[in-house]
Amino acid sequence: MRTTLGLLLLSIFAVACARESDLVVYVALDQVFSEELIAEFERESGLSVDARFDIEQSKTVGLVQAIVEENRAGSTRCDVFWNNEFAHTVRLADEGLLATYRPPSADDVPDAFRDPDGRWTGFAARARVLIVNTELADPNTLHGLDDLFDPRWKGKVGIARPLTGTTMTHAVALYAELGEERARAFWERVQSAGQAGDIAIVTSNGEVMRKVSSGVLAWGWTDTDDFNVARENGYPVAVVYPDQAPDGMGTFLIPNTLCILADAPHPDAARRFVDWVLRRETEQRLAASRSAQIPVRAGIPHPEHVRMPGADFRAMRADYGAIGRRIEERGEELRRLFVR
């Protein structure tokens, strides 16, 4: 009886604590990079934030599914979704789950990184790049997608399975850039090479980075934030911004996105948080952090190792809304291919 009563009191206490939060934020940006900013917002605003972070294996997909299921059940908990990419944010917008809000702090964000209907705003991008172990490969000999299949790198090159996170978003973008037939043929070739052991298909970009850093792989696809962690840790690594030839597609940029849920329980606090995060100071902070995020706005101070599109490399011309609207369809095709 005492045990039952104790459990009941603990449950009541947990619910009461949850209700004390002024704001609930779901965060797909790695906790090590986002938690400090959220804590700073709490100190400056006086508001308490209940932050739910993703895990490396499920990445954005798990948080998006939670948002969808909460909405279906009529029990939305999340006020703000801080996504580390855009495709699933577009999906949520198209399903009518996001509120319209045009934060004044983001007036100078380029239109390419903003939803025309004001449902989400992009900022602080990462680039999809090649991380190279300079003791095993010369970065000057690597250029882009097709290098994955070069016989020189048989068994020594890696890519994350394109079912979650930025690798999935990149995969979907390739359908838009290369066309249906070429993109499908590319991913079928990757899957076949993975089964043959010619390409290491691993669980995440972080795992690619760790295998390249340790010399298990010579090079692989990852994001600029993972590369920068390896660089700062002193590993013998270099970065290649792919597909920079005059006729190449350019390097794919993936911005963070912020959005407010249409049924947000705390809409006023949500708007305060979004305004605060979307300041120019945040992009500057994220550029200077270990995540080395790329500012989407011009004129924001950044370290020398953070390369800027236009000035330091050519970015892929991407229609983020169009890519996001195909994420479910393309994701299903990729799951049929890579889940056997």
What is the tens place of the pLDDT at every residue in 243-297? 999 999 999 999 999 999 999 999 999 999 999 999 999 999 999 999 999 999 9
Q: What is the C-alpha separation between 234 and 226, in angstroms, rounded?
A: 13
Pick left, alpha or beta for residue 153 (phi over 0 → left; psi -120 to 50 → alpha; otherwise beta). Answer: alpha
pLDDT given for residue 269 in this prediction:
98
H or E element that contains 191:
helix 180-196
Tokens of 239: 């970065």
Q: Higher confidence at residue 32 or residue 273?
A: 273
Coil, helix or strand for 133?
strand
CA-based nearest residue to 18, from 51, 67, 42, 44: 51
Q: What is the C-alpha separation between 251 and 314, in angstroms, rounded?
A: 6
pLDDT at 2 over 50: no
Contacts with 6 (C-beta within 8 Å, 6 or more apart), sequence order:
none
Instruction: Give, rounded to a whole angstrom, the gap between the first and last alpha carbons of the chain.
Output: 49
pLDDT given for residue 10 in this prediction:
43
Amino acid at 329: E
pLDDT given for residue 56 in this prediction:
52
H or E element that contains 224:
helix 224-232
Contacts with 156 (C-beta within 8 Å, 6 or more apart), sequence order:
136, 137, 217, 218, 219
pLDDT at 6 over 90: no
Tokens of 335: 């799951």
pLDDT class for 74, splitting at 50, 70, 90?
very high
pLDDT class for 164, splitting at 50, 70, 90?
confident
Mean pLDDT taken over the chain: 92
pLDDT at 227 over 90: yes
Question: Model's pTM, two decimal places?
Answer: 0.88
CA-based nearest residue to 126, from 86, 186, 160: 86
pLDDT given for residue 8 in this prediction:
39
pLDDT given for residue 14 in this prediction:
44
Tokens of 103: 């934060």
Over the Cα atoms of the chain, what is R_g? 21
Tokens of 278: 């979307």
Percent of the chain residues topping a pLDDT of 90: 87
